[in-house]
Chains A and B, each alone.
Chain A
Amino acid sequence: MVAKPVFRTCGFTGLKIHDEAEKLIKINAVTAIVVLALGGLFGLLVALTRWPTVHLLPADLFYLALTAHGIDILIVWCIFFEVALMYFASAILLQSRLATPKMGWVAYALMVLGAAITNWKVLEGNSSVMMTSYVPMQADPLFYVGLILFAVGALIACFIFLGTLVVAKAEKTYEGSIPLVTFGALTACIIAIYTISSGAIILIPTFLWSVGLISHIDPLMYKVVWWGMGHSSQQINVAAHIAVWYAIAAILFGAKPLSEKVSRCAYLTYIFFLQIASAHHLLVEPGLSSAYKIFNTSYGMYLAVLGSMIHGLTVPGCIEAAQRRRGFNNGMFEWLRKAPWGNPVFSGMFLSLILFGFLGGISGVTMGVEQINIMIHNTIYVPGHFHATVAAGTTLAFMAITYFLVPVLFGRELVMPGLAKLQPYLFGLGMGVFSLFMMGAGTLGVSRRHWDMAFSDAPHAFAHAPAAFLMMGIVGVSAVVAVVGGALFVLIIVGSVLFGKPAVPPAPAAAPSPVASYGNADHVAVPGTFALALLFLTMFVLYYFVNWKYLASTWIMS
């Protein structure tokens, strides 16, 4: 006998909210934020060790903290939050009940258990194998077990999301197609299922190998399959945080997509192409042919890059169209200047968009070129790139939507609203500078995952350029700024949930009413956005060709 689902009507949004769905969203989001705090702490330790003048941790603890930081942030934090987003984008946005909430709790328990076991094994000190855990380096068998349990939990959550879509369709809780944000979440979910399957294909044999049941795992094969998971797991983040951008544009501005067709087709390019583009992690790997590398990175990646470039126009474009409808019509950029920059929901989202595009996007595509990768592979440029995408892009977007969800789901006002205003800037700009200078240091040859860039105990002498040390110093300082921003976020959210004043919904629905029927299709031009897009393209082209020129100056090799 299934209990009758209980609903309430949200005073802020007018949405019908399923009680069980709400509880699961809250618990997953809160757990995500706890993990963010933990992973951020490890991140701080790592950053303080790589800051040459501080050099905080001894080598063994450094590699331990780096492994924990990578797993907790890149996997655990992101996926817990994405599970919350999936439940939100299905049950809440479709005003449906969540399919099988009991399984939702099972999924949650498995994920918590898995994350805890993996963390325990890492902290014990015998599983400092980094997030990539390349064989033949071996971790404790339970390290792999934890990851597998976490993945199974996440997989169940994906199926609950799909089930909820089916329920909503069958019970006719909405009409027509699913909303764009839900479509984005569906994209994330499909990529997640692919990702987790790849993870299972590689981690289960690796576990069997770690307990001695399989004698040998081929290191190259491991990497090819591992990146089927590792790469697309980051694509879950991209699909999810772009959905968040669209959601925030709609919530704050009542913005409509410029056209549903273009935005949705851009998402489709992710589903069709991005997962197979994982070869760009293997560009300097021996034993894989150039034909494979080029084929896989070109047709797969560039079509997906096209998708991202489209979102890069349509998200600010729909905000511009909505703002112009409201009368912010002077010049190219009044719509942007008059945007609510003091509202962390907006500032977080817009900084995420800019930093993700300009820093993360351009650097990612450039280093995904077979030959240019020779200069960048495994240097600190790589974490520079993915901090721009995952920290400044995904994490900041998730922070922004959290500021919206606290009053809606927890019914609490934010504590310390002044600091909340400041928080996205501290975190976003800290992370932006951090990423930029990491890329600079990487270009000078500084390695990632390396304890001592001075090589004090090495048998030979080698000194990096002084500029590399300076840049790593700036990386350290900006990391501290970003960590302060991150800690502030955790403090504000936890404080609000526990001690916030009850939030009183405004008399009419707070969500602005839609301002255009097909976005700007009925002729609100978006010249400001187009100018920004052209600026982006110019920087992209310049940076891309500067790297080719730089490559041409290194040793001749074939």
Chain B
Amino acid sequence: MSITPPEQKVWFNEPVEKTEVVWVLIALTWALIMFAMMPLWHLKGTQNMSNEAYRIQPDVYQARVDAFVEKYKVGEEGHAKTPVVRPPAGSDVYMLARLWEWYPVLELEKGKSYRLHLSSIDWQHGFSVQPANINLQVHPGIDEVVTITPTDSGDFGIICNEYCGIGHHTMLGKIRVVAGK
């Protein structure tokens, strides 16, 4: 029994029943299929995590975001008067996380690609675009660059889904995707 020593002193020599052999082979095959899927998706799929990231000082990142907002600001929104920024398609766009806001509001064009920069100037935050359902981790000190192409238009909420203190649940930002011309 499982609670008594095995009958054969060298348990490795025990016979193995056929059902088990079959199941081990099936399970191994399935494991290999799953093993292949991730590299395969990098080749064939269009949703992959970016490997582009740079070390950056929070104040340097802040300065870049400020310059970006200055350049492309088209209005303000929400009771915190968050600037709304409309960058040209294909450009570098910035999103900054801090206690407890996402800054600024981005206005993007459907079907166009953008190099989205993500970083935090204080703690870790979670960048969760809903209901598109994209969830990325945002770190202080790391400038993460993801090339994104919104595939549907509308207003998307950016929820912070990494706990960052008492005001965490109010940390809600916005990306507006407008239909192209």
Whether A310 contacts B27 by the Cβ 8 Å rule is yes
> Which stretch of A40-48, A154-162, A335-343, A444-452 is in the interface?
A444-452
Q: Are A369 and B34 in contact (CB under 8 A)?
A: yes
Cα distance A302–B42 when bound, in Å?
A: 19
Closest-CB distance, B121 to chain A (whole angstroms)? 11
Q: Confirm or deny: A264 has a beta carbon within 8 angstroms of a beta carbon on chain B.
A: yes
CB distance from B38 to the nearest CB of A (A): 5
User: Which of A175, A289, A519, A556 interacts with B47 by CB under 8 Å?
Assistant: A556
In the assembled complex, B49 has its CB within 8 A of some CB on chain A: yes
B180 within 8 Å of A (CB atoms):
no
**Contact, CB under 8 Å: A284 / B2:** no
User: A447 with B5: in contact, given A314-B20, A455-B169 (CB under 8 Å)?
Assistant: no
Give the distance in Å from the alpha carbon of A202 to the alpha carbon of B59 in the complex.
27
- Please tell me if the beta carbons of A447 and B159 are within 8 angstroms of each other in the complex: yes
Confirm or deny: A19 has a beta carbon within 8 angstroms of a beta carbon on chain B: no
The docked-state distance in angstroms from the alpha carbon of A529 to that of B23 is 11
Contact pattern, A 539-558, Cβ under 8 Å of B = 1, otherwise 0: 01100100010011011111
Flag whether B80 is at the interface (Cβ < 8 A).
yes
In the complex, A557 Cα to B49 Cα: how many Å? 7
In the complex the two chains form, what is the Cα distance from A259 to B1 in whole Å?
10
Binds B, one of A177-185, A406-414, A494-502: A177-185
Say yes or no: A255-B2 contact (C-beta < 8 A), given A371-B38, A556-B149: yes
Judge if A136 is at the interface, Cβ distance under 8 Å. Answer: yes
Chain A neighbourhood of B50, CB < 8 A: 286, 557-558
Pair A460/B20 contact, Cβ less than 8 Å: no
Contacts of A526 on B, CB cut-off 8 Å? Answer: 19
Known: A179-B5, A219-B140, A557-B47. A445 touches B20 (CB 8 A): no
**8 A Cβ contacts from B1-41 to A:** 1-17, 19-20, 22-24, 26-28, 30-32, 34-35, 37-39, 41
**C-alpha spacing A136/B137, complex, angstroms:** 14
Is the C-beta of A394 less than 8 angstroms from some C-beta in chain B? no
Would you call A250 an interface residue if the criterion is a C-beta within 8 Å of the partner chain's C-beta atoms?
Answer: yes
| Interface presence of A137 (CB below 8 A) | yes
Q: Which of A130, A177, A250, A529 contacts B2 (CB 8 A)?
A: A250
Known: A302-B35, A555-B150. A371 touches B7 (CB 8 A): no
Residues B79 and A459 in contact, CB atoms below 8 Å apart: yes
Q: Are B37 and A179 neighbours in the complex by a CB distance under 8 Å? A: no
Selected from A218, A371, A520, the residue in CB contact (under 8 A) with B17 is A520
Bound CA span A293–B130, Å: 25
Chain A 291-334: CB-based contact to B (< 8 A → 1; otherwise 0): 00110011100110110011001100110000000000000000
How far apart sit A337 and B160, CA to CA, in the bound complex (Å)?
48
Question: A541's closest neighbor in chain B, by CB?
Answer: B30
B115 to chain A, nearest CB (A): 10
Which chain B residues (146-181) contact chain A, with CB distance < 8 Å? 146-151, 155, 157, 159-166, 168-174
Instruction: Name the B residues within 8 Å of A555 (CB-CB).
Output: 47, 129, 132, 134, 148-151
Stretch at the interface among A192-200, A374-382, A424-432: A374-382
Residues of A within 8 A of B13 (CB): 261
The answer to whether B23 touches A174, judged by C-beta atoms less than 8 angstroms apart, is no
Chain B residue at minimal CB-CB distance from A526: B19
Residues A445 and B159 in contact, CB atoms below 8 Å apart: yes
Q: Which residues of A contact B45 (CB under 8 A)?
A: 371, 548, 551-552
Within the complex, the shortest CB–CB distance from B158 to chain A, in Å, comes to 8
B133 contact set on A, CB distance < 8 A: 375, 443, 445, 554
A60 CB to closest chain B CB (Å) equals: 6
- Residue of A with least CB distance to B173: A460
Segment 244-292 of A: residues with Cβ below 8 Å from B: 246-247, 249-251, 254-264, 283-287, 289-290
Contacts A219-B139, A533-B23: A460 and B151 contacting too (C-beta < 8 A)? no
Question: CA A256 – CA B11 in complex, angstroms?
Answer: 13
- The reply to whether B49 and A284 form a contact with Cβ atoms under 8 Å apart is yes
- B131 near A465 with CB under 8 A, answer yes
Give the shortest distance, in Å, between A173 (CB) and chain B (any CB): 10
Residues of A within 8 A of B12 (CB): 261
Flag whether B126 is at the interface (Cβ < 8 A).
Answer: yes
Q: A219-B124, A378-B135, A447-B159 are in contact. Are A458 and B171 (CB under 8 A)?
A: yes
Check B6 against A445 for contact (C-beta < 8 Å).
no
A38 beta carbon closer than 8 Å to chain B: no
Cα distance, A219 to B25, chains bound together (Å) = 41
A166 to chain B, nearest CB (A): 16
Q: Which residues of B contact A261 (CB under 8 A)?
A: 11-14, 16
Q: How far is the CA of A309 from the CA of B27 in the complex (A)?
A: 7
Report B41 CB to chain A, min CB distance, Å. Answer: 5
Q: What would 5 more interface pairs be, CB under 8 Å, given A286-B136, A548-B37, A557-B148?
A: A134-B124, A298-B38, A303-B31, A370-B48, A530-B19
Closest 9 CB pairs of A and B: A462-B157, A286-B144, A458-B172, A447-B161, A445-B130, A459-B78, A459-B80, A246-B2, A250-B1
Write the residues of chain A forming the contact surface with B, with a CB cutoff of 8 angstroms: 59-60, 63, 93, 130, 134, 136-137, 174-181, 218-220, 246-247, 249-251, 254-264, 283-287, 289-290, 293-294, 297-299, 302-303, 305-306, 309-310, 313-314, 317-318, 365, 369-371, 373-379, 443-445, 447-452, 455, 457-460, 462, 464-465, 514, 517-521, 523, 525-526, 529-530, 533, 537, 540-541, 544, 548, 551-552, 554-558
Residues of B within 8 A of A (CB): 1-17, 19-20, 22-24, 26-28, 30-32, 34-35, 37-39, 41-42, 45-51, 53, 77-80, 82, 101, 105, 113, 118, 122-124, 126, 128-142, 144, 146-151, 155, 157, 159-166, 168-174
